[in-house]
Amino acid sequence: MISDLRDVPHFAQVVAERIWRAFWKDEGHPLELLTGLVQESFESGPIPTAFVAHEGERFLGTVSVIANDEEKRPQYTPWVAALWVEPEARRNGIGAALVQKATEFSFGTGAPRIYLLSRERRRAYYEGLGWTMLEADILEPGLHVLIRDAGA
């Protein structure tokens, strides 16, 4: 099952911890920063929003829809970001289902185009889900901006 984090708030800490470990810890950012960012998903606006894949109380994965994932490109919004699937739950379509949920949600807000930041090693995965390259090698080699257009 995939739920909006607002409907399963008890998963907020595990969402923050997984995103922090996967994307922020090695950059020296404190867990408290991520905890605060995840809490923003409980605000009334549609963005940011976090989704949680779970089987009852078992956390399986998460993905977020955020306003911006690349500060040097403020004109690009919204972004699908922070996809994480628990290692034991991978290769079961959970990641693809989370990305699809975030994509549908983003288009439901009226966005004509959505964005995603991907490293080279994950690029083919996202392209297989229907994303296309917009910009290659931004900020550093192997870091790309991919897009999906509404109705595509």
Q: What's the CATH number where 87 sits?
A: 3.40.630.30
pLDDT value of residue 34: 85
For residue 8, is it within any domain? yes
For residue 13, is it within any domain? yes
Q: Rounded distance, CA 129 to CA 132, Å?
A: 9
6-27 in b/e burial notation, b at 16+ Cβ within 10 A? Answer: eebeebbebbbbbbbeeebeee
Q: Which stretches does DSSP call E strand in the chain? A: 2-4, 49-55, 58-66, 79-85, 113-119, 132-135, 143-149
* Cβ partners under 8 Å of residue 83, min gap 6: 61, 62, 63, 95, 98, 99
For the whole prediction, is pTM greater than 0.85?
Answer: yes
With beta carbons less than 8 A apart as the criterion, state whether 60 and 89 touch: yes
Question: In which residue ranges of the chain is pLDDT below 50?
Answer: none
How many domains is the chain partitioned into structurally?
1
Query: Which three-class secondary structure state does DSSP give residue 110?
Result: coil
For residue 148, is it within any domain? no
Residue that is written with structure tokens 């690009």 in the block: 76
pLDDT value of residue 151: 81
For residue 149, is it within any domain? no
Structure tokens belonging to residue 67 = 């306003």
Give the domain range for residue 15. 2-111
pLDDT value of residue 22: 92
